[in-house]
């Protein structure tokens, strides 16, 4: 089973304004980028399941020149609320590292 961490040299998450989180998946080369960037495992349903977002709003934009795909979703609660645990969403990427891609 190939996991995200096996085919990406770097994965990061970051807030994009108070209402959105954006994930950058940097694949370790063009081959794995081509093979996995559109994987059903990285579909909007994954982000709905892991982060409670509305799958209809998830954006998926590949950047072939950088062998990366950008996936963004609206936060379930806006940044900085009563139960905030990750103001910059900088640690949210960890949960996707073990997602199995095939």
Using the rule CB under 8 A, is 18 a contact of other proteins?
yes
Q: What are phi and psi of 41, to 5 degrees?
A: -65, -25
- 36/93 with CB nearer other proteins: 93
Using the rule CB under 8 A, is 70 a contact of other proteins?
yes
User: How many helices and strands (H and E) does the chain possess?
Assistant: 3, 4
Q: What are phi and psi of 98, to 5 degrees?
A: -100, 10
Q: Which stretch binds other proteins (CB under 8 A): 1-9, 28-36, 39-47, 90-98?
A: 90-98
In whole angstroms, the minimum distance from the beta carbon of 2 to other proteins comes to 18
């Amino acid at each position: 089973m190939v996991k995200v961490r096996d085919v990406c040299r770097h994965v990061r998450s970051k807030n994009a304004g108070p209402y959105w989180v954006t994930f950058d998946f940097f694949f370790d080369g063009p081959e794995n980028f081509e093979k996995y960037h559109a994987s059903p495992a990285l579909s909007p349903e994954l982000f709905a399941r892991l982060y409670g977002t509305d799958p209809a709003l998830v954006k998926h934009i590949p950047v072939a020149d950088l062998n990366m795909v950008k996936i963004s979703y609206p936060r379930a609660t806006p940044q900085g609320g009563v139960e905030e645990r990750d103001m910059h969403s900088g640690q949210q990427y960890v949960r996707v590292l073990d997602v199995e891609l095939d």
